[in-house]
Amino acid sequence: MSKAFDFVQGEILLIDKPLTWTSFDVVGKIRNSLRIKKIKVGHAGTLDPLASGLLIVCTGKLTKSVDLYMAEEKEYTGTITLGATTPSFDLETEVDQTFEINHITDEIIHATCQQFIGEIAQVSPSYSALRIDGERAYHKARRGEEVKIKSRNITISEFEITQIRMPEIDFRVVCSKGTYIRSLANDFGKALHSGAYLSALRRTRSGSFNVADAWELPHLIDEISLQRINWTEKTNIE
């Protein structure tokens, strides 16, 4: 995957974001590795720390294209755990309620998926990066404050169950910009007359970009280090 980079003119870097890293952690790591003054680095679509997979990072003049990439449809795979809920709709917080799952059959699970295909109204998690009165919603939620978020329309073009091993079900979903898979998991549990939370998530595609073509972050950092001397001499801006 080795190539000659031109980070000032602009690069589109496909990163396989590791678990526990924030999207900003990845951007910061790349920016610090470049050691080029005043170069712009930004990502096109946040991934939660508990999610892995494709993160698009743009540098230099191509940071102007970030909004275009963010607007493209996304594909995810992951796992939903049935029979319980958490305040964050994922593993960031502890289980707060448990529910019955004995009534849930494979047929009901597959049929319920169909309810979510198309344009639907979705409420984002209170533990999210949305700004409420100028502050990130998750800051308010972590302080125990009530967070009121209006629903918004999103589009689910594909939603399929790939494996069932109760209480866990594996899925694949293709969706529009602004979709919260954590909210989808929570709503899916409600539709099953039970509860559910997202227990694993991986972004596999964004627009035409696929995680199969992405860099492992340590390998990219090594490649940047190897090329640093060459493009420092070329740009003469360090």
Residue 56: Cβ within 10 Å count: 23
Question: Half-sphere exposure of residue 200, counting CA atoms within 13 Å on the CB side?
Answer: 9
β-pairing verdict for 74-82 and 209-210: unpaired
Let me know: does 155 contact 118? Beta carbons within 8 Å: yes
Whole-number Å distance between alpha carbons of 209 and 236? 32
Is 67 one of the annotated active-site residues of the chain? no
- The DSSP call for residue 213 is G
Residue type, 213: D
β-pairing verdict for 196-206 and 74-82: antiparallel
C-alpha 184, offset from chain centre: 13
Q: Could you give the 3-state DSSP secondary structure of residue 171?
A: strand
Element (H, E) at 161: strand 152-165
Phi, psi (deg, nearest 5) at residue 236? 55, 40
Q: Active site residue: 6, 16, 25, 48, which one?
A: 48
Residue type, 121: A
Let me know: does 97 contact 89? Beta carbons within 8 Å: no
Residues tagged active-site: 48
